[in-house]
A and B are shown apart, each in its own frame.
Chain A
Amino acid sequence: MLRYAVERLIQAIIAIFGVLTIVFVVMHLSGDPTLLLVPQDASAEMIAQLRSQLGFDRPIWVQYLEYLGGLAHFDFGISVVQRVPAFDIVVSRVPYTAMLAAGALVVAIGMGIPAGIVMATRRGGWLERLLTAIVVTGQSVPTFLSGIVLIFLFGVTLRWLPTSGSGDFASLIMPSIALGAISMSTFARMTRISIIDELGKDYVRAGRARGLSLGSVVFRHVLRNAAIPVITIAALEIGNLLAGAVIVETVFAWPGIGQLAIQSIQSRDFLVVQVIVLLISFVYVLTSVIADFVYALVDPRIRLAR
């Protein structure tokens, strides 16, 4: 077990390090922010001077080594655009994305799991067909489209909810639904499959044979056993939600790290992008490690297979 843990951890560190390097190189290939910072009447010499003051005229490997050097002391550098530590900028936006991801998870789990249970237990009925259609719809609508439709319906036409804004509960509703829809489908599918898996097992047949109703078997035993893969999915979905947040936050002008990421890429604010990517890939890796561990703890066969 310990060896497996160490191995997994090393893999994770390598992955994060690789992400860091790839993003660093790609960002620097895309130019630097100097031209965006200078006033429109700046001369070529002035631009060159600022570029060298900001250090962007140095070879990329020098900049890379310097960046790694800073990282070693947990120094993420100072944003050249905003002139405050890049880490602080990102941290100030994290609560918004966390709120949004939590809202989306509530939507996804709150709707996905019940739907999955019904789909597994009422197989072949019209209800299952209807739910299947809803689930496929959830994953067929791009978040920006559902975003626009929601804004138009509830924001502009009915004026029930604020069209944008941040921080209060009312403005969290629409982005959460838009973001949660795709995950909802994932949860519904996973719940359905794992319940069906469980239903085929002997203890269920035995229970049914003793005269227990399907409902009580499901609620007393099946759900608990089927929960493990669903929990794993929940962990993995957090990473996907962060990625989905990029577009949803742009559509709803939600000031989280997704919106910040797009803006920072466009303003070539390298260090801020680095921190965001680092954070997201950290969450990705962390959640997948956790998911692996949950599996390994529960199911020793996986451990042996490695």
Chain B
Amino acid sequence: MEMVNLYINGKEVAAPTGSTVMQAADLAGIEIPRLCYDPDLSALGACRLCVVEVKGNRLLPASCVTPVMPGMEVFTESPAVIEARRTILELLVANHPLDCMTCDKLGECKLADYCYQYGVKESPFAGGEKHNYKCDDSNPFIIRDLNKCILCGACVRACEEMTGQDNLSYLYRGFHRKATTAGDVDYAESDCVFCGQCVAVCPTGALTEKTMAGQGRRWEIERVRTTCPFCGTGCNFDLAVKNGQVIGVLSNPDSPVNGRSLCVKGRFGWDFIYNEKRLTTPLIKKNGQFEAASWNEALDLIAQKFNAIKDEYGPDSFAALSSARCTNEENYLVQKLTRAYMGTNNVDHCART
């Protein structure tokens, strides 16, 4: 790979030809703030928060779309850069609800993090016109509060580039510009398939998981990485756990197959685990009715019946149906029990159906 040498904050760094200044800085471990940039999406250069100073350039270019040049001298935290970033943040929060104390995204809200970093407490531009959009909670999965949207366009790009659903785009002009559905209808009335990729890439509280609303602050959530239990693609994600309860599913960018992409089932279908109809105790049928039983009672009855049937009719009078939904380990045990103890190869699962 051909490399280019450049200087960032006085330090000589090397980056592959064709990289952007932001990528070169990332490689060198120099952090540049960013709102609209997302490594899984095309670079837009819209939020301008990633601006840097480049010697010989009278403007402050956005580092996410500026290619590296040999010998280039870049400054990521110069006074001019810091002032520009602060102004950008002040403009953004002038028209952003400052209800961070009750916002579910706080802790993973990039806008709040950068305001903290650059000391933006209130905006000198406050008092101007503010959006007052109706919050879209027309569906069971996603809360869409466009008052918190900063128009970074990550949701629009995710819907087109990750999913290919093309359900989102920009509507209107100027102050009224909106990242929304065709015809500006609620998600439930649109062509949305509720994959939730827009939620996974949103840097603010504009798009959040409905199941997680009010369930916990982001820093209280334990993430348990696992594999999706629905189809055979093998997507990975994190179960969001608080106080021993699953409260949601969060994308994990390190997932080798799917990255942050999921479908409606993987991201939002997990709540079957808390369905009130879940069985939690063994049941024994007595006179046609199921009655709750202890584990010992149930297992003793099974042992007695299976052994009696095996003794009377022989091993092949038994058959086991294992499951393509269960783990490898469970399947291994079922076929081992069937073969080694029941003495038959009558074991199958629904692969053929």
Do A and B belong to a common assembly?
no
Chain B residues with a Cβ under 8 A of chain A: none
